[in-house]
A and B are shown apart, each in its own frame.
Chain A
Amino acid sequence: MSYREHLPETEGYPRAAIAINALIALAVTALILWWAADFAVFYEELFRIQPIAEGANAGVGSDWTAGNQIAWLDFMIAITHAADVIMGVFILFMVFLHWGAFRRLAGRMRHPGDSDSSAVAADGGQVADADAPADAAGDGTVDDAAATDGGEAR
Protein backbone atom coordinates (compact mmCIF):
# COMPACT_ATOMS: atom_id res chain seq x y z
CA MET A 1 0.00 0.00 0.00
CA SER A 2 2.28 2.68 -1.29
CA TYR A 3 -0.20 5.48 -0.71
CA ARG A 4 0.36 4.97 3.00
CA GLU A 5 3.69 6.76 2.96
CA HIS A 6 2.09 10.20 2.92
CA LEU A 7 -0.33 9.37 5.66
CA PRO A 8 0.23 9.77 9.38
CA GLU A 9 1.23 6.96 11.66
CA THR A 10 -1.85 6.44 13.74
CA GLU A 11 -2.25 4.40 16.81
CA GLY A 12 -5.16 2.08 16.38
CA TYR A 13 -6.12 -1.20 17.97
CA PRO A 14 -3.65 -4.10 17.78
CA ARG A 15 -4.64 -6.63 15.12
CA ALA A 16 -4.06 -9.55 17.46
CA ALA A 17 -6.47 -8.08 20.02
CA ILE A 18 -9.12 -7.63 17.33
CA ALA A 19 -8.75 -11.22 16.12
CA ILE A 20 -8.70 -12.80 19.57
CA ASN A 21 -11.57 -10.71 20.90
CA ALA A 22 -13.65 -11.45 17.80
CA LEU A 23 -13.15 -15.17 18.36
CA ILE A 24 -14.01 -14.88 22.05
CA ALA A 25 -17.12 -12.84 21.18
CA LEU A 26 -18.27 -15.52 18.73
CA ALA A 27 -17.70 -18.25 21.31
CA VAL A 28 -19.52 -16.30 24.03
CA THR A 29 -22.45 -15.67 21.65
CA ALA A 30 -22.67 -19.37 20.82
CA LEU A 31 -22.65 -20.26 24.51
CA ILE A 32 -25.28 -17.69 25.47
CA LEU A 33 -27.59 -18.64 22.60
CA TRP A 34 -27.13 -22.31 23.37
CA TRP A 35 -28.12 -21.55 26.96
CA ALA A 36 -31.07 -19.38 25.88
CA ALA A 37 -32.36 -22.01 23.48
CA ASP A 38 -31.95 -24.74 26.07
CA PHE A 39 -34.13 -22.66 28.32
CA ALA A 40 -37.13 -23.71 26.25
CA VAL A 41 -39.64 -26.15 27.67
CA PHE A 42 -41.57 -28.55 25.47
CA TYR A 43 -45.06 -27.13 25.45
CA GLU A 44 -46.68 -30.33 26.66
CA GLU A 45 -44.62 -30.05 29.81
CA LEU A 46 -45.98 -26.58 30.43
CA PHE A 47 -48.77 -26.29 32.96
CA ARG A 48 -52.22 -26.37 31.46
CA ILE A 49 -54.34 -25.85 34.48
CA GLN A 50 -52.92 -23.81 37.26
CA PRO A 51 -55.58 -22.52 39.55
CA ILE A 52 -53.35 -19.96 41.27
CA ALA A 53 -56.03 -17.26 41.19
CA GLU A 54 -58.42 -17.37 44.04
CA GLY A 55 -61.95 -16.12 44.47
CA ALA A 56 -64.36 -15.64 41.60
CA ASN A 57 -61.65 -16.15 38.96
CA ALA A 58 -60.38 -19.47 40.29
CA GLY A 59 -60.42 -22.51 38.03
CA VAL A 60 -59.27 -23.53 34.58
CA GLY A 61 -57.38 -20.74 32.80
CA SER A 62 -57.07 -18.73 35.93
CA ASP A 63 -53.29 -18.55 35.58
CA TRP A 64 -53.94 -16.23 32.68
CA THR A 65 -56.01 -13.91 34.81
CA ALA A 66 -53.48 -14.02 37.62
CA GLY A 67 -50.56 -13.55 35.24
CA ASN A 68 -52.22 -10.54 33.72
CA GLN A 69 -52.21 -8.76 37.05
CA ILE A 70 -48.58 -8.99 38.14
CA ALA A 71 -47.95 -5.60 39.68
CA TRP A 72 -44.20 -5.37 39.18
CA LEU A 73 -44.44 -6.29 35.49
CA ASP A 74 -47.13 -3.67 35.07
CA PHE A 75 -44.96 -1.16 36.90
CA MET A 76 -41.89 -1.99 34.79
CA ILE A 77 -43.87 -1.40 31.62
CA ALA A 78 -45.35 1.82 32.96
CA ILE A 79 -41.82 3.05 33.77
CA THR A 80 -40.66 2.16 30.26
CA HIS A 81 -43.62 4.03 28.75
CA ALA A 82 -42.65 7.03 30.84
CA ALA A 83 -38.99 6.74 29.79
CA ASP A 84 -40.10 6.57 26.14
CA VAL A 85 -42.16 9.73 26.48
CA ILE A 86 -39.48 11.66 28.37
CA MET A 87 -36.71 10.61 25.99
CA GLY A 88 -39.00 11.14 23.00
CA VAL A 89 -39.72 14.72 23.96
CA PHE A 90 -36.02 15.30 24.64
CA ILE A 91 -34.98 13.77 21.31
CA LEU A 92 -37.58 15.87 19.49
CA PHE A 93 -36.16 18.94 21.18
CA MET A 94 -32.68 17.93 20.01
CA VAL A 95 -33.95 17.47 16.45
CA PHE A 96 -35.40 20.98 16.44
CA LEU A 97 -32.28 22.39 18.10
CA HIS A 98 -30.05 20.89 15.41
CA TRP A 99 -32.43 21.71 12.61
CA GLY A 100 -32.39 25.36 13.67
CA ALA A 101 -28.62 25.41 14.15
CA PHE A 102 -28.15 23.81 10.72
CA ARG A 103 -30.33 26.45 9.10
CA ARG A 104 -28.36 29.20 10.77
CA LEU A 105 -25.06 27.63 9.70
CA ALA A 106 -26.38 27.16 6.16
CA GLY A 107 -27.19 30.86 6.08
CA ARG A 108 -23.48 31.60 6.55
CA MET A 109 -22.40 29.42 3.66
CA ARG A 110 -22.11 30.48 0.05
CA HIS A 111 -25.22 29.68 -1.85
CA PRO A 112 -25.24 27.89 -5.17
CA GLY A 113 -24.60 30.41 -7.92
CA ASP A 114 -23.01 32.87 -5.50
CA SER A 115 -19.54 31.48 -5.84
CA ASP A 116 -18.24 33.72 -8.60
CA SER A 117 -17.68 37.25 -7.47
CA SER A 118 -20.12 38.89 -9.86
CA ALA A 119 -22.98 36.81 -8.51
CA VAL A 120 -22.12 37.86 -4.97
CA ALA A 121 -21.97 41.49 -6.05
CA ALA A 122 -25.41 41.28 -7.53
CA ASP A 123 -26.78 39.47 -4.54
CA GLY A 124 -28.72 40.79 -1.62
CA GLY A 125 -25.68 40.56 0.65
CA GLN A 126 -24.02 43.48 -1.06
CA VAL A 127 -27.06 45.67 -0.86
CA ALA A 128 -26.72 45.45 2.88
CA ASP A 129 -24.54 48.57 2.92
CA ALA A 130 -27.22 50.63 1.23
CA ASP A 131 -30.38 49.38 2.84
CA ALA A 132 -29.78 46.96 5.63
CA PRO A 133 -33.37 46.18 6.59
CA ALA A 134 -34.27 44.90 3.14
CA ASP A 135 -31.41 42.47 3.29
CA ALA A 136 -32.08 41.24 6.75
CA ALA A 137 -35.60 40.47 5.68
CA GLY A 138 -34.29 39.02 2.43
CA ASP A 139 -32.15 36.11 3.53
CA GLY A 140 -33.62 35.65 6.95
CA THR A 141 -30.25 34.96 8.59
CA VAL A 142 -28.28 36.94 11.09
CA ASP A 143 -26.64 39.99 9.66
CA ASP A 144 -23.07 38.78 10.22
CA ALA A 145 -23.58 36.29 7.44
CA ALA A 146 -24.18 39.10 5.03
CA ALA A 147 -21.12 40.94 6.30
CA THR A 148 -18.96 37.90 5.69
CA ASP A 149 -20.35 37.53 2.22
CA GLY A 150 -19.45 41.09 1.47
CA GLY A 151 -15.96 40.63 2.82
CA GLU A 152 -15.22 37.81 0.47
CA ALA A 153 -16.45 39.47 -2.67
CA ARG A 154 -13.04 40.44 -3.94
Chain B
Amino acid sequence: MTQLDHGKFSKMTTTFHTLLALDVFVLFFSGYSLMFNDELWWMVGLMGGAQGVSAVHRIAGGGLLTLIVFWMLMMVTTDTGRGNFREILPSKGDFDAFIQDVQFLLGSADERHPNARQFAGGTADEIPLLTYIGKGVVFIFAAELTLLTISGLLIWSKTGVMDIMATKTAAAAFVTFHGLLGVIMLMGVMFHIFEHGFHPALYPVEVKAFIPKSMIPEEHDDDTEGTGIELLELAPSWNMASTVVGAMTVIGIVSVLLGSLFDEGYPVPREIAIGGGPTDILLTVGINMGVFVLLLGLVLQMYGNLLRVRWQKQLEQEASEPTTAADGGHVESDD
Protein backbone atom coordinates (compact mmCIF):
# COMPACT_ATOMS: atom_id res chain seq x y z
CA MET B 1 0.00 0.00 0.00
CA THR B 2 1.23 3.43 -0.78
CA GLN B 3 0.57 6.63 1.03
CA LEU B 4 0.11 9.93 -0.67
CA ASP B 5 1.28 13.16 0.84
CA HIS B 6 -2.23 14.36 1.37
CA GLY B 7 -4.04 11.38 2.83
CA LYS B 8 -2.47 10.87 6.23
CA PHE B 9 -4.99 11.65 8.92
CA SER B 10 -8.41 10.27 9.76
CA LYS B 11 -11.52 12.37 9.43
CA MET B 12 -11.75 12.71 13.20
CA THR B 13 -8.21 14.12 13.31
CA THR B 14 -8.69 16.61 10.48
CA THR B 15 -11.99 17.81 11.95
CA PHE B 16 -10.42 18.08 15.38
CA HIS B 17 -7.52 20.05 13.94
CA THR B 18 -9.92 22.53 12.36
CA LEU B 19 -11.96 22.99 15.54
CA LEU B 20 -8.85 23.28 17.73
CA ALA B 21 -7.29 25.81 15.35
CA LEU B 22 -10.43 27.95 15.27
CA ASP B 23 -10.72 27.86 19.03
CA VAL B 24 -7.04 28.63 19.62
CA PHE B 25 -7.16 31.53 17.14
CA VAL B 26 -10.08 33.03 19.06
CA LEU B 27 -8.16 32.51 22.32
CA PHE B 28 -5.10 34.22 20.83
CA PHE B 29 -7.07 37.16 19.46
CA SER B 30 -8.94 37.73 22.71
CA GLY B 31 -6.13 36.86 25.15
CA TYR B 32 -3.33 38.77 23.47
CA SER B 33 -5.47 41.80 22.74
CA LEU B 34 -5.73 41.97 26.54
CA MET B 35 -2.05 41.32 27.25
CA PHE B 36 -0.83 43.59 24.44
CA ASN B 37 -3.70 46.03 24.76
CA ASP B 38 -1.38 48.99 24.13
CA GLU B 39 -0.52 47.55 20.73
CA LEU B 40 -3.81 45.85 19.89
CA TRP B 41 -6.24 48.44 21.23
CA TRP B 42 -8.31 48.19 18.05
CA MET B 43 -8.91 44.48 18.66
CA VAL B 44 -10.14 45.17 22.17
CA GLY B 45 -12.56 47.69 20.66
CA LEU B 46 -13.66 45.21 17.99
CA MET B 47 -14.56 42.65 20.62
CA GLY B 48 -16.55 45.09 22.71
CA GLY B 49 -14.01 46.41 25.17
CA ALA B 50 -12.43 44.66 28.12
CA GLN B 51 -15.65 42.95 29.16
CA GLY B 52 -16.39 41.69 25.68
CA VAL B 53 -12.85 40.36 25.27
CA SER B 54 -13.05 38.52 28.61
CA ALA B 55 -16.36 36.98 27.62
CA VAL B 56 -15.00 35.84 24.24
CA HIS B 57 -11.89 34.43 25.92
CA ARG B 58 -13.91 32.52 28.51
CA ILE B 59 -16.28 31.03 25.95
CA ALA B 60 -13.35 29.92 23.77
CA GLY B 61 -11.60 28.65 26.91
CA GLY B 62 -14.61 26.44 27.65
CA GLY B 63 -14.38 25.17 24.07
CA LEU B 64 -10.70 24.36 24.52
CA LEU B 65 -11.44 22.46 27.71
CA THR B 66 -13.98 20.31 25.86
CA LEU B 67 -11.63 19.74 22.95
CA ILE B 68 -8.65 18.62 25.03
CA VAL B 69 -10.73 16.38 27.30
CA PHE B 70 -12.26 14.83 24.17
CA TRP B 71 -8.84 14.31 22.58
CA MET B 72 -7.38 12.71 25.69
CA LEU B 73 -10.35 10.34 25.90
CA MET B 74 -9.99 9.42 22.23
CA MET B 75 -6.28 8.69 22.65
CA VAL B 76 -6.89 6.48 25.67
CA THR B 77 -10.15 4.70 24.89
CA THR B 78 -9.69 3.69 21.23
CA ASP B 79 -7.29 1.22 19.63
CA THR B 80 -6.51 3.71 16.86
CA GLY B 81 -5.64 6.36 19.43
CA ARG B 82 -3.36 4.08 21.42
CA GLY B 83 -1.78 2.79 18.21
CA ASN B 84 -1.11 6.32 16.98
CA PHE B 85 0.62 7.25 20.19
CA ARG B 86 3.56 5.10 19.12
CA GLU B 87 3.76 7.08 15.89
CA ILE B 88 4.41 10.35 17.68
CA LEU B 89 7.19 9.16 19.99
CA PRO B 90 10.48 10.82 19.05
CA SER B 91 13.13 8.56 17.53
CA LYS B 92 16.76 8.85 16.54
CA GLY B 93 15.56 9.49 13.00
CA ASP B 94 13.97 12.73 14.19
CA PHE B 95 17.22 13.98 15.60
CA ASP B 96 19.01 12.97 12.41
CA ALA B 97 16.33 14.79 10.43
CA PHE B 98 17.01 17.99 12.35
CA ILE B 99 20.76 17.72 11.73
CA GLN B 100 20.19 16.92 8.07
CA ASP B 101 17.86 19.93 7.73
CA VAL B 102 20.72 22.14 8.89
CA GLN B 103 23.04 20.41 6.41
CA PHE B 104 20.41 20.81 3.67
CA LEU B 105 20.24 24.52 4.41
CA LEU B 106 24.02 24.81 4.27
CA GLY B 107 24.20 22.81 1.06
CA SER B 108 26.04 19.76 2.38
CA ALA B 109 23.03 17.45 2.06
CA ASP B 110 21.08 16.97 -1.18
CA GLU B 111 17.73 15.98 0.26
CA ARG B 112 15.77 16.55 3.43
CA HIS B 113 15.65 13.51 5.72
CA PRO B 114 12.48 11.37 5.34
CA ASN B 115 11.51 12.43 8.88
CA ALA B 116 11.62 16.07 7.76
CA ARG B 117 10.09 15.75 4.30
CA GLN B 118 6.84 17.67 4.02
CA PHE B 119 6.58 16.99 0.30
CA ALA B 120 7.37 13.31 -0.21
CA GLY B 121 6.10 12.84 -3.77
CA GLY B 122 7.61 9.64 -5.17
CA THR B 123 9.21 8.80 -1.84
CA ALA B 124 5.90 8.74 0.06
CA ASP B 125 6.52 5.16 1.23
CA GLU B 126 9.64 6.15 3.13
CA ILE B 127 8.23 8.89 5.26
CA PRO B 128 6.66 8.51 8.70
CA LEU B 129 3.21 9.82 9.70
CA LEU B 130 4.67 12.95 11.27
CA THR B 131 7.82 14.91 10.57
CA TYR B 132 10.14 15.71 13.45
CA ILE B 133 8.55 19.14 13.56
CA GLY B 134 5.10 17.56 13.59
CA LYS B 135 6.03 15.44 16.61
CA GLY B 136 7.50 18.47 18.38
CA VAL B 137 4.32 20.43 17.66
CA VAL B 138 2.17 17.67 19.14
CA PHE B 139 4.25 17.48 22.32
CA ILE B 140 4.85 21.19 22.86
CA PHE B 141 1.28 22.20 22.04
CA ALA B 142 -0.12 19.42 24.25
CA ALA B 143 2.02 20.52 27.21
CA GLU B 144 1.24 24.19 26.58
CA LEU B 145 -2.49 23.67 26.24
CA THR B 146 -2.58 21.63 29.45
CA LEU B 147 -0.67 24.26 31.43
CA LEU B 148 -2.71 27.07 29.90
CA THR B 149 -5.95 25.31 30.76
CA ILE B 150 -4.90 24.72 34.37
CA SER B 151 -3.64 28.26 34.89
CA GLY B 152 -6.68 29.60 33.05
CA LEU B 153 -9.04 27.73 35.37
CA LEU B 154 -7.15 29.09 38.38
CA ILE B 155 -7.83 32.65 37.27
CA TRP B 156 -11.40 31.94 36.14
CA SER B 157 -12.63 33.39 39.45
CA LYS B 158 -9.99 35.85 40.57
CA THR B 159 -11.56 36.55 43.94
CA GLY B 160 -11.11 32.85 44.75
CA VAL B 161 -7.38 33.04 44.06
CA MET B 162 -7.14 36.24 46.12
CA ASP B 163 -8.91 34.55 48.99
CA ILE B 164 -6.71 31.44 48.94
CA MET B 165 -3.45 33.33 48.58
CA ALA B 166 -4.65 35.99 51.05
CA THR B 167 -3.50 38.77 48.73
CA LYS B 168 -4.91 40.60 45.73
CA THR B 169 -1.62 40.64 43.86
CA ALA B 170 -1.66 36.84 43.54
CA ALA B 171 -4.38 37.17 40.93
CA ALA B 172 -2.14 39.52 38.95
CA ALA B 173 0.70 37.00 39.21
CA PHE B 174 -1.40 34.13 37.86
CA VAL B 175 -2.76 36.24 35.02
CA THR B 176 0.81 37.22 34.09
CA PHE B 177 1.92 33.60 34.29
CA HIS B 178 -0.97 32.51 32.06
CA GLY B 179 -0.16 35.15 29.45
CA LEU B 180 3.56 34.44 29.44
CA LEU B 181 2.99 30.70 29.07
CA GLY B 182 0.91 31.28 25.97
CA VAL B 183 3.67 33.27 24.28
CA ILE B 184 5.50 30.03 23.41
CA MET B 185 2.38 28.70 21.74
CA LEU B 186 1.77 32.04 20.02
CA MET B 187 5.26 32.01 18.48
CA GLY B 188 4.95 28.31 17.67
CA VAL B 189 1.68 28.80 15.82
CA MET B 190 3.19 31.60 13.72
CA PHE B 191 5.96 29.21 12.70
CA HIS B 192 3.39 26.46 12.09
CA ILE B 193 1.48 28.75 9.70
CA PHE B 194 4.65 29.60 7.79
CA GLU B 195 5.83 25.99 7.72
CA HIS B 196 2.58 24.55 6.38
CA GLY B 197 1.48 27.45 4.23
CA PHE B 198 4.66 28.28 2.37
CA HIS B 199 6.36 25.05 1.34
CA PRO B 200 6.96 25.73 -2.37
CA ALA B 201 5.43 22.42 -3.48
CA LEU B 202 2.39 22.69 -1.22
CA TYR B 203 1.81 26.48 -1.16
CA PRO B 204 -0.59 28.01 -0.14
CA VAL B 205 -1.76 25.26 2.22
CA GLU B 206 -0.93 21.63 2.94
CA VAL B 207 -4.21 19.85 2.36
CA LYS B 208 -3.16 16.82 4.37
CA ALA B 209 -4.46 18.59 7.46
CA PHE B 210 -7.88 19.05 5.87
CA ILE B 211 -8.63 16.17 3.50
CA PRO B 212 -8.90 12.92 5.46
CA LYS B 213 -7.17 9.79 4.21
CA SER B 214 -10.55 8.18 3.53
CA MET B 215 -11.02 10.66 0.67
CA ILE B 216 -7.68 10.07 -1.04
CA PRO B 217 -7.18 7.30 -3.63
CA GLU B 218 -4.24 5.03 -2.91
CA GLU B 219 -2.80 4.51 -6.36
CA HIS B 220 -0.20 6.83 -7.75
CA ASP B 221 2.65 6.77 -10.20
CA ASP B 222 5.68 5.22 -8.70
CA ASP B 223 7.96 5.77 -11.65
CA THR B 224 9.49 9.01 -10.46
CA GLU B 225 12.92 8.91 -8.91
CA GLY B 226 13.16 10.82 -5.67
CA THR B 227 10.44 13.21 -4.65
CA GLY B 228 9.82 14.45 -8.17
CA ILE B 229 9.67 18.03 -6.97
CA GLU B 230 11.51 19.16 -10.11
CA LEU B 231 8.43 18.20 -12.16
CA LEU B 232 6.27 20.70 -10.32
CA GLU B 233 5.86 24.29 -11.34
CA LEU B 234 6.35 26.93 -8.72
CA ALA B 235 3.37 29.19 -8.17
CA PRO B 236 4.08 32.64 -9.64
CA SER B 237 3.28 34.35 -6.35
CA TRP B 238 5.34 32.04 -4.15
CA ASN B 239 8.51 34.08 -4.17
CA MET B 240 6.88 37.32 -3.12
CA ALA B 241 4.38 35.70 -0.75
CA SER B 242 6.92 33.53 1.08
CA THR B 243 9.29 36.47 1.45
CA VAL B 244 6.64 38.82 2.82
CA VAL B 245 5.05 36.29 5.16
CA GLY B 246 8.44 34.90 6.22
CA ALA B 247 9.52 38.41 7.19
CA MET B 248 6.23 39.04 8.97
CA THR B 249 6.55 35.76 10.85
CA VAL B 250 10.05 36.66 12.04
CA ILE B 251 9.03 40.21 13.00
CA GLY B 252 5.88 38.92 14.70
CA ILE B 253 7.79 36.36 16.77
CA VAL B 254 10.47 38.85 17.81
CA SER B 255 7.84 41.47 18.66
CA VAL B 256 5.62 39.31 20.86
CA LEU B 257 8.74 38.04 22.61
CA LEU B 258 9.95 41.58 23.30
CA GLY B 259 6.45 42.68 24.22
CA SER B 260 6.14 39.87 26.74
CA LEU B 261 9.41 40.96 28.34
CA PHE B 262 8.41 44.63 28.55
CA ASP B 263 4.85 44.10 29.74
CA GLU B 264 5.56 43.33 33.36
CA GLY B 265 2.58 42.08 35.30
CA TYR B 266 4.18 40.76 38.46
CA PRO B 267 5.56 42.09 40.71
CA VAL B 268 2.95 44.72 39.95
CA PRO B 269 5.01 47.78 39.00
CA ARG B 270 4.70 50.98 41.02
CA GLU B 271 4.11 53.03 37.91
CA ILE B 272 1.89 52.21 34.98
CA ALA B 273 3.99 51.54 31.87
CA ILE B 274 1.91 53.15 29.14
CA GLY B 275 2.73 52.09 25.63
CA GLY B 276 4.15 48.73 26.55
CA GLY B 277 7.78 49.72 26.92
CA PRO B 278 10.44 51.75 25.24
CA THR B 279 9.98 50.68 21.64
CA ASP B 280 6.44 51.94 21.19
CA ILE B 281 5.85 52.33 17.50
CA LEU B 282 8.09 49.54 16.27
CA LEU B 283 6.62 47.17 18.81
CA THR B 284 3.09 48.18 17.85
CA VAL B 285 3.79 47.54 14.17
CA GLY B 286 5.59 44.29 14.94
CA ILE B 287 2.91 42.82 17.18
CA ASN B 288 0.26 43.77 14.66
CA MET B 289 2.26 41.97 11.98
CA GLY B 290 2.28 38.89 14.19
CA VAL B 291 -1.49 39.15 14.55
CA PHE B 292 -1.74 39.47 10.78
CA VAL B 293 0.16 36.18 10.41
CA LEU B 294 -2.36 34.58 12.77
CA LEU B 295 -5.22 36.03 10.75
CA LEU B 296 -3.62 34.62 7.61
CA GLY B 297 -3.45 31.24 9.35
CA LEU B 298 -7.16 31.48 10.08
CA VAL B 299 -7.88 32.31 6.44
CA LEU B 300 -5.63 29.50 5.16
CA GLN B 301 -7.29 27.01 7.42
CA MET B 302 -10.72 27.99 6.11
CA TYR B 303 -9.28 27.72 2.59
CA GLY B 304 -8.03 24.21 3.41
CA ASN B 305 -11.56 23.25 4.37
CA LEU B 306 -12.92 24.84 1.21
CA LEU B 307 -10.50 22.66 -0.78
CA ARG B 308 -11.80 19.61 1.07
CA VAL B 309 -15.39 20.46 0.12
CA ARG B 310 -14.38 21.04 -3.51
CA TRP B 311 -12.43 17.78 -3.60
CA GLN B 312 -15.43 15.87 -2.27
CA LYS B 313 -17.66 17.46 -4.91
CA GLN B 314 -15.16 16.52 -7.59
CA LEU B 315 -15.05 12.92 -6.40
CA GLU B 316 -18.84 12.77 -6.37
CA GLN B 317 -19.00 14.23 -9.85
CA GLU B 318 -16.42 11.83 -11.22
CA ALA B 319 -18.23 8.89 -9.65
CA SER B 320 -21.53 9.90 -11.26
CA GLU B 321 -20.04 10.21 -14.75
CA PRO B 322 -19.95 6.88 -16.61
CA THR B 323 -16.71 7.77 -18.39
CA THR B 324 -14.91 7.90 -15.09
CA ALA B 325 -15.77 4.29 -14.38
CA ALA B 326 -13.98 3.29 -17.55
CA ASP B 327 -11.02 5.44 -16.68
CA GLY B 328 -7.53 4.07 -16.23
CA GLY B 329 -6.34 3.89 -12.66
CA HIS B 330 -9.39 2.78 -10.80
CA VAL B 331 -10.60 -0.16 -12.88
CA GLU B 332 -7.28 -1.91 -12.45
CA SER B 333 -7.81 -2.26 -8.74
CA ASP B 334 -8.87 -5.75 -7.81
CA ASP B 335 -12.38 -5.05 -6.49
Chain A interface (Cβ < 8 Å from any Cβ of B) = 1-3, 5-8, 10-14, 17-18, 21-22, 24-26, 28-29, 32-33, 36-43, 45-47, 50, 52, 63-64, 66-70, 73-74, 76-77, 80-81, 83-85, 87-88, 91-92, 94-106, 108-112, 114-115, 142, 144-145, 148-149, 152
A64 to B173, CA, bound (A): 12
A67-B74 contact, Cβ under 8 Å, with A109-B229, A112-B236: no
User: Would you call B110 and A144 a contact (CB within 8 A)?
Assistant: yes
7 A-B residue pairs with Cβ-Cβ distance under 8 Å, sorted by A, are A8-B217, A29-B69, A46-B168, A52-B167, A80-B180, A102-B242, A112-B235
* A interface secondary structure, majority: helix
Q: Say whether B66 faces chain A, with CB atoms less than 8 Å apart.
A: yes
By CB atoms of chain B within 10 A, which of A3, A40, A47, A111 has the most? Answer: A3
A13-B80 contact, Cβ under 8 Å, with A97-B101, A109-B230: yes
CB distance from B84 to the nearest CB of A (A): 10
How many residues from B make CB contacts under 8 Å with A? 96
User: Would you call B199 and A105 a contact (CB within 8 A)?
Assistant: yes
Which of these binds chain A: B42-50, B86-94, B252-260? B252-260
* Residues of chain B from 226 to 264 with CB closer than 8 A to chain A in the complex: 229-236, 238-239, 242, 246, 249-250, 253-254, 257, 260-261
In the bound complex, residues from chain A placing their C-beta under 8 Å from that of B213 are 8, 10
CB distance from B117 to the nearest CB of A (A): 10
Q: Say whether B316 faces chain A, with CB atoms less than 8 Å apart.
A: yes
Partner of B177, one of A10, A21, A42, A80: A80
In the bound complex, residues from chain B placing their C-beta under 8 Å from that of A69 are 267
Which of these binds chain A: B25-33, B153-161, B278-286? B153-161
User: Would you call B180 and A3 a contact (CB within 8 A)?
Assistant: no
In the bound complex, residues from chain A placing their C-beta under 8 Å from that of B190 are 91
* B interface secondary structure, majority: helix
CB distance from B329 to the nearest CB of A (A): 9
A68 to B173, CA, bound (A): 9
User: Would you call A104 and B104 a contact (CB within 8 A)?
Assistant: yes
In the bound complex, residues from chain B placing their C-beta under 8 Å from that of A114 are 233
Partner of B230, one of A42, A50, A88, A152: A152
User: Would you call B267 and A84 a contact (CB within 8 A)?
Assistant: no
Task: Name A109's closest neighbour in chain B (CB-CB).
Answer: B234
By CB atoms of chain B within 10 A, which of A38, A39, A76 has the most? Answer: A39
In the bound complex, residues from chain B placing their C-beta under 8 Å from that of A84 are 180, 183-184, 187, 257, 260-261
User: Would you call A36 and B69 a contact (CB within 8 A)?
Assistant: no
User: Would you call A13 and B105 a contact (CB within 8 A)?
Assistant: no
User: Would you call A2 and B156 a contact (CB within 8 A)?
Assistant: no
In the bound complex, residues from chain B placing their C-beta under 8 Å from that of A144 are 110
A29 to B62, CA, bound (A): 7
User: Would you call B80 and A21 a contact (CB within 8 A)?
Assistant: no
User: Would you call A110 and B233 a contact (CB within 8 A)?
Assistant: yes
B176-204: CB near A (< 8 Å → 1, else 0) gives 11001101100110110011001111000
Partner of A70, one of B170, B195, B232, B235: B170
